[in-house]
Amino acid sequence: MESNITSQNGLEQPILEIDNLTVIRSGKLVLKNVNLTVNKGEFVGIVGPNGSGKSTLLLAILGVLKAQEGNIKIYNSKPMSRELYGKIGWVSQAAANLPKDIRITIKELVHLGTVNAKNMFSHTWLPMKDNGRNKKVKEAIEMVGLQGFENFDIGRISGGQRQRAVIARALATEAEFILLDEPLVGMDRESRNSLLKLLDRFCHDNGKTIIMVSHDLSAIRQTTHRMIFLEETIRFDGSTANFPDLESLAKLRGITHTHEQEMGQWSRELGDLKEER
Amino acid sequence: METGLGVFLADIFFPIFEFIAPYVPGETFPNFFNGNIQALQRSLLGSLMVTIIAGFLGSFLLVRNLAMIGDGLAHVAFGGVIIGIILGASTPLWYAMICSIIASASIYELQSREILTGDASIAIFMTGMLAFGLVILKLSGRAITTDIHSYLFGSQLLIDWESLDLISYMSLVSLIVLFSLRHALLAITIDPLSARVQGLPVRGIGLMFSIIIAIVVVSMVKIVGALLVTALLVTPAATAQLIGRSFKSCVFWTQIFGFLSVMIGLYVSSEHGTGAGSSIALTAATIFVMIGLVSGIIKNINPEKT
């Protein structure tokens, strides 16, 4: 939080502003004094050890979890407020684990992204009042490269394809601001890379703003412009190029944190990363 | 003759039944169509309505992983029926409905607040309400009469105009609500959080759905019986999952299998006196096994085309 580079530039347009956020979940302090500003068109990666509050932060931004202290503003509105419906796309951790025994096609799944409080009845009773829904669905499917698979049911496609389908569903909402929670879990290297490329394109070509949470450090490093190391609070926030190496990171954490076990796991992950390179 | 939705529908459908009656096979089975015994005509109409709505609801229940809620609520409804009978109600189904709706909404609350899993809360309400009904029955000093018995196993001959009216209204309301909510319902089922972010009233829709389940189950109790409600609610939908590729096609196939189960079940029961509810349930299960075997064989022969 010391080096909030982009927000210092007055010309940027802030989409998300988090001010001194504190979240307590079932009696446990998960987030403390989190300050974060995200501007339009940014691709932000959030990393941190298990249980460091990454998902909690996303849920707080979405407004599912209430903050004990602090303020969150998205497009100058409070989370979950009416003005935000359809502006935020959410790709959950559970996406890869969509129940496989449900017979629903990719097209049907993506279509669900276009349903909202305003049109959920007209959707049903006035099917001719399309309002470009079908076009939206088609475009979203094309954007994630699933054209030709529209009528495949989600139980019978690969994990990578399913993740793309879920992302297409988020795109069909026409969201400008997309939050992804561990979208790379259970993906092979190839589909992981093409998904990252896809997200990168959304940012650059379509002007979407993306926050991606992952414990896959190398993936985040590969794609994002800005990285945040979160552990209860933001311990590093800056351009990806400046992300600290293992030792400096340990120092950053060591000062304030003493959880040996988590520390060990995180170091192991970083170790894996080194080998990969 | 009384007036009501049941009568209105009867005016439309009974002539159709009578028209196809000469082509209906069997010795006793045509009685469901030809109007010699009007109770049987009413029963056929009621069965068909209930099957349509049960199939539609069942498709959603499977998606929401709530297959057993039908059974649970049917037991609750049965407890409610006993209470109604002891209090001397002329239509004990109303008591059943109130009990079921309360139970269904409570199960939803317990589940969505993550206090209990769906199965556990269903089990508690199902046994609790049934036991309550039975204890009250003992206390009142009455025995299980044929009337009570008919709610357990269904009764084709006891579908009076009042019951048909009730079934018609309940089916119509449920059908309209389910049809209106179908996109939203699917959205909140597949991914509740995304649905909420999209601005769908997840809680309201969930509660509404719970109430609809209760209403549909109660409307089925009189026809197929409390013990066999799940057969029409879940089995056709499960069979459809074996061959359907999309949600839409599953809904379609559910209707086909439901219709077949009812028709074959009624035919068998009327020709051989095997009991309507149980015959329908048995037919539905048999269809499931047959389709399961066939689709399994096809998949083995041609695995990549699935």
Indicate whether A151 and A181 sit together in one domain: no
The pLDDT of residue A30: 86
pLDDT, tens digit (0-9, with 9 covering 90-100), for B217-227: 998 888 888 88
Residues A11 and A68 in one domain: yes
User: At A270, is the pLDDT very low, low, confident or very high (cuts 50, 70, 90)?
Assistant: low
Q: What ipTM was reported for this prediction? A: 0.81
Does residue A149 sit in the same domain as residue A188?
no
Percentage of chain A lying above the pLDDT 70 cut? 78
Q: Of A138, A158, A175, which residue sits at a domain end?
A: A175
Across A150-172, b (16+ Cβ under 10 Å) vs e yields bebbbbebebbbbbbbbbbbbbb
**Residue numbers of the domain that contains A155:** 103-175
Residues A246-258, mean pLDDT to the nearest whole number: 62
Does residue A14 lie in a domain region? yes
Domain limit, last residue, from A175, A192, A219: A175
Of B65, B180, B190, which is closest to A98 when you measure between CB atoms?
Answer: B190
Indicate whether A95 belongs to any domain.
no
pLDDT at B118 over 90: no
Residue reference for tokens 């339009």: A40
The answer on pLDDT for A73 being more than 50 is yes
Q: Regarding beta strands A43-47 and A69-74, do their DSSP bridges make them parallel or antiparallel, or are they unpaired?
A: unpaired
Range of the domain at B230: 5-305
What total number of domains does chain A contain?
Answer: 2
**What's the pLDDT score for residue A234?**
85
* A83 shares its domain with A107: no
Into how many domains does chain B fold? 1
Tell me whether residues B193 and A92 touch, CB distance under 8 A.
Answer: yes
Indicate whether A96 belongs to any domain. no
Q: Does some domain include residue A94?
A: no
What's the CA angle centered on B149, arms B143 and B152, to 5 degrees?
130
Q: Where are the alpha helices (DSSP H) in chain A?
A: 54-62, 106-112, 122-125, 133-143, 159-172, 189-206, 217-223, 246-254, 260-276
Q: Is residue A98, in this structure, part of any structural domain at all?
A: no
Pair A131, A268 in one domain: no
> How many angstroms separate the first and last alpha carbons of chain B?
54
In whole angstroms, what is the distance from residue A38 CA to residue A84 CA?
16
Residue in B64, B190, B198, B203 to test binding to A, most A beta-carbons within 10 Å: B198
pLDDT, one tens digit per residue, over B16-75 is: 988 888 888 888 888 888 888 888 889 899 999 999 999 999 999 888 888 889 889 999
Q: Is pLDDT larger for residue A257 or for residue B134?
A: B134
Closest CA to A154 of B250, B196, B68: B250
- Mean pLDDT of all residues belonging to chain B: 87
A117 has a chain B CB within 8 A of its CB: yes
Does B203 contact chain A (CB < 8 Å)?
Answer: no
A81 and A122 in a single domain? The answer is: no
Inter-chain residue contact A124 with B183, CB threshold 8 Å: yes
Structure tokens given for B276: 């309507």
Please tell me the predicted confidence (pLDDT) of residue A274: 45
Same domain, A264 and A181: yes
A 42-71 near B (Cβ less than 8 A): 62, 64
CA distance B204 to chain A (A): 11
Q: Cβ of B190 and A112 within 8 Å? A: yes
Q: Which helix (H) or strand (E) holds A230?
A: strand A226-231
Could you tell me which chain A residue has the CA closest to the CA of B63? A102
Residues A74 and A207 in one domain: yes
Q: Domain holding B284: CATH number?
A: 1.10.3470.10
Q: Sort out which chain A residues have CB atoms less than 8 A from B240's CB and list them.
A: 103
Q: Do B193 and A120 touch (CB under 8 A)?
A: no
Residue A97 counted as domain residue: no
Which chain B residues are closer than 8 Å to A99 by Cβ? 63, 65
What pTM value is reported for the model?
A: 0.82
**Within a domain: A92:** no
If asked whether residues A123 and A141 sit together in one domain, one would say yes
Is it the case that residue A205 has pLDDT exceeding 50?
A: yes
Question: Closest-CA residue in chain B for A59?
Answer: B193
Average per-residue pLDDT in chain A?
78
Query: Which of the listed residues A128, A159, A175 is the one where a domain comes to its end?
Result: A175
